[in-house]
């Protein structure tokens, strides 16, 4: 992960000065840089279940995200070891951090592993029930588990699907080939600016046509619009779909961001989310059952 690369990209993005200098936005960026520091200081260390390549290819051909198709027992020990570090993360409010610390104090490691497993499997009801029992905001608990699980998701995804982008002819769907989540960010790479969608949950990269909505498949140009943040049209943009209200941020990149840089890129382009929401578009949610 190269924090500096994303910071430099951001510096060239055509956001108005008042946004670049906004204090809340600066704090958000700082918090994500800190989070990457946590991940960098605690490299992934756990075993990863292996799946035969032919099995992976068969599921992709059938159009089934791997995580839904493959039963594997995942080692959550690394995620569990990240929980105290993520609980101290300044991206959470002081109140949330205090409540997460209390959860750490009143749970045993086995309970925390069970919570991580529930979040991994997308069992939202179980996580909500736990939040109530542990007296913590459900959203805070979800986010805590999400960030603790992120390096494990990345590692399992890389082991099964590989690190490279998945070619259009191998997958071709709008949702993530590994976990089924919908993307909210794409990178435009190569000479022709091909669109490579990125998964917010596992960092997967897969090719997808520029003129098609990944959420509903709409490809009629009359229903697809682009919100440019600035007159500088070659830079950052938001692709929106009038049929389903989904939007995807688009960022030109010389190279694909690694999964950790991706978290940073997403946070650093937050003004695009604000712009899209002001126009009435919604941040896409992961498909049901695989939500963060």
Residues near Zn ion (CB under 5 A): 176, 178-179, 181, 199, 201-202, 204, 213, 215-216, 218, 241, 243-244, 246
Asked whether the beta carbons of 242 and 225 are under 8 A apart, the reply is yes
DSSP state at residue 41: H
Cβ of residue 170: shortest distance to Zn ion, in angstroms?
A: 15
Asked whether the beta carbons of 157 and 202 are under 8 A apart, the reply is yes
Cβ of residue 176: shortest distance to Zn ion, in angstroms?
A: 3
Report the C-alpha gap between 109 and 148 in whole angstroms.
14
Report the C-alpha gap between 68 and 177 in whole angstroms.
10
- Among residues 1 and 224, whose Cβ is nearest to Zn ion? 224
Cβ of residue 145: shortest distance to Zn ion, in angstroms?
A: 16
Backbone angles phi, psi at 27, to 5 degrees: -65, -40
Cβ of residue 195: shortest distance to Zn ion, in angstroms?
A: 15
Task: Count each helix (H run) and each strand (E run) in the chain, helices first.
Answer: 12, 6
- Among residues 75 and 242, whose Cβ is nearest to Zn ion? 242
- Among residues 144 and 178, whose Cβ is nearest to Zn ion? 178
Other beta carbons within 10 angstroms of residue 18's beta carbon come to: 8
- Among residues 25 and 178, whose Cβ is nearest to Zn ion? 178
Element (H, E) at 248: strand 247-252
- Among residues 80 and 218, whose Cβ is nearest to Zn ion? 218
Element (H, E) at 237: strand 237-241
Cβ of residue 30: shortest distance to Zn ion, in angstroms?
A: 26
- Among residues 25 and 120, whose Cβ is nearest to Zn ion? 120
Cβ of residue 11: shortest distance to Zn ion, in angstroms?
A: 29
Nearest to 228 by CA among 192, 267, 271: 271
Asked whether the beta carbons of 246 and 215 are under 8 A apart, the reply is yes
């Amino acid at each position: 992960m190269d924090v500096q690369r994303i910071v430099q990209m951001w510096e060239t993005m055509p956001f108005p000065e008042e946004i670049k200098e906004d204090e809340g936005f600066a704090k958000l960026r700082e918090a994500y840089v800190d989070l990457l520091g946590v991940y960098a200081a605690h490299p992934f260390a756990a075993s990863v279940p292996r799946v035969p390549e032919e099995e992976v290819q068969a599921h992709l051909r059938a159009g089934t995200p791997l995580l839904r198709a493959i039963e594997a027992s995942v080692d959550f020990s690394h995620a569990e070891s990240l929980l105290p570090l993520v609980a101290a993360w300044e991206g959470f409010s002081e109140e949330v951090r205090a409540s997460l610390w209390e959860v750490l104090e009143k749970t045993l490691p086995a309970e925390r592993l069970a919570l991580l497993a529930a979040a991994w499997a997308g069992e939202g009801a179980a996580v909500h029930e736990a939040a109530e029992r542990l007296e913590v905001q459900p959203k805070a608990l979800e986010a805590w588990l999400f960030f603790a699980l992120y390096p494990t998701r990345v590692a399992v995804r890389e082991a099964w699907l590989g690190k490279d982008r998945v070619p259009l002819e191998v997958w071709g769907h709008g949702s993530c080939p590994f976990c089924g989540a919908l993307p909210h960010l794409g990178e435009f790479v190569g000479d022709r600016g091909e669109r490579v969608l990125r998964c917010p949950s596992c960092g997967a990269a897969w090719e997808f046509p520029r003129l098609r909505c990944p959420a509903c498949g709409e490809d009629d140009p009359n229903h697809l619009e682009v919100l440019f943040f600035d007159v500088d049209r070659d830079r950052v943009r938001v692709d929106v779909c009038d049929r389903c209200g989904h939007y995807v941020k688009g960022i030109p990149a010389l190279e694909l961001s690694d999964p950790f840089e991706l978290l940073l890129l997403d946070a650093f382009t937050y003004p695009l989310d604000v712009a899209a929401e002001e126009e009435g578009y919604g941040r896409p949610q992961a498909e049901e059952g695989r939500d963060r």
